[in-house]
Chains A and B, each alone.
Chain A
Amino acid sequence: MKKSNLPLFFISMLFLGLTSKAQLVDEQNVTITMDLQPILQLDMSGPQNIDFVFDEVYEYVGGITKYGVTQLKVSASVDWDLYAVGYSSGMNGNALLWDNQVTYGIGAATNASNALDCELLELRQNKANPLNTSVAALFNDYSTAFGKSPTITGANNIYTSIAPYTKPIAGLKYIAGGVLGVDFVAGGTYLVTNASGTGAGSNYWYTMDYRIVPGLPAIFPNTRSNAGVASAIHFGGVATAYAQPGVYTMNVKYVLVQN
């Protein structure tokens, strides 16, 4: 080795000597994994079936209102939106019409129709939608009080769609949140105190009322489309038609979705 390399050699050997002694260094490792799944938890308390039986004249005229039937309680780890959607199985050839399970009497009478729009069902939520800034929103939510029948605003008619998992477009009703990215309720739960309160007073708990007003004749005068206008398919467009007595069913789905 050349003489000029000696200093570098000795310095390096010095470091190597420090690190190459028989020293006790031992190691074990543990890997920690954390799987944070997006949690959207909707608890619905109340009966699975909500029955409206119209067998008195005053029930036809004044309708039947069922208060506080459904409690919707949300716990979510992400920002969320909640909406209700009405539809049927399409028994009457259209999933936006009630399914006609049974027809009473001898059959369809003149002007009687079983084409009842799902939109005739009215909902009311106990508190306003916390945030829905949809441009030109027709109805932010279902928080408007039920109007004296006939009600022509359409503020309480259920949103209907044959694609229940597709979010309502801008301007249509949400219980909480909206279609826009800026419209949502932040993750949280009714179980603990948060900025909006706690329990039933918070933005994570909604109580739903239901109303159906058949009217006399039974033309369901409150029926309005998603856009708030008289439904174009009301009784198939037959102005003189009325509801065929019978048993009808429809599905109300509450959808909790990540914003």
Chain B
Amino acid sequence: MPTYRLRNFFLWTLILFSKLANAQCPGLGAGTHTLCDPLASSITLAHSGNIDFLFDTYYQINGGITRGGSTQIRIKAINNISSTCQWKLVMYVSNISGTATPTDWSNQTLYGAAGSGSIPQLDLLEIRLDNFCHTPTNAGAWQQFAALNGSSIDIINSAMLVSAGSCVTQVNGAGDYLSNFGEYTFTLDYRIIPGITHKPGMYAIKISFCLSEM
């Protein structure tokens, strides 16, 4: 291949992958993807920031800690002109550090002697989500991510359009939490029951909540 063609090939390839790499949420479904207004639609968290679990007594290690209602997701899904918006909401887990084993939490530091324990895996975290109309998948049930970086849990993900106001499962039409709190707001509980098999230390993971058009 001549030099200029090779250079152009790499140039276009670089542009292509830089565009694709911007997508933090890999959740775009098949379809036209122009039915929702991307500027007016949004996902917001009522309680943002870190959610910290501190285990410093044995009964916490053994019995776990539950943080109820630590995250509240608020959705606004607005139609584009003459279109019918249909959306999905998926959460993804990431162990943040590029050096962490793909199945494990990211370890910030270890305490004390090395001991014989193990690094906790990503399926240690349990999440329960629900709303007034119980629209999410597995509403009200404790769920776990698969122990693999990037694994996901569907919150709303239906191929069929379920319009707002029906107060049934998988509502995914246009609407917003201001006018329809029961279907466009999601409350999340978190629970961790470490048990005694893990190495003492500070660990972290990231959860991404991704709103995208079907």
Smallest Cβ-Cβ distance to B13: which chain A residue: A12
19 examples of A-B residue contacts, CB within 8 angstroms: A2-B4, A5-B8, A8-B12, A16-B19, A21-B33, A21-B34, A23-B38, A26-B43, A27-B209, A28-B73, A31-B49, A31-B204, A31-B205, A31-B207, A34-B203, A36-B199, A39-B55, A78-B115, A189-B62
Q: Interface residues, chain A, CB within 8 Å of chain B?
A: 2, 4-5, 8-9, 11-12, 15-16, 19-39, 41, 75-79, 186-189, 191-192, 258-259
Interchain CB contact under 8 A, A25 and B202: no
Of the candidates B15, B27, B38, B55, which one forms a contact with A22 in the assembled complex, judged by CB atoms under 8 Å apart?
A: B38
Q: Which of B105-113, B131-139, B149-157, B158-166 contacts A (4 or more CB under 8 A)?
A: B105-113
Q: Is B116 an interface residue (CB 8 A)?
A: yes
A258 CA to B38 CA in the complex, in Å?
55
Q: Interface residues, chain B, CB within 8 Å of chain A?
A: 4-5, 8-9, 12-13, 15-16, 19-20, 23-25, 27-28, 33-34, 36-38, 41-45, 48-59, 61-62, 71, 73, 77, 80, 85, 87, 96, 105, 108, 111-113, 115-117, 120, 124-125, 190, 192, 194, 196-213
Interchain CB contact under 8 A, B115 and A24: no
Interchain CB contact under 8 A, A27 and B24: yes
Interchain CB contact under 8 A, B41 and A31: no
Would you call the interface of chain A mostly helix, strand, loop, or mixed?
Answer: mixed
A10 CA to B32 CA in the complex, in Å?
20
Interchain CB contact under 8 A, B200 and A38: yes
Interchain CB contact under 8 A, B43 and A35: no
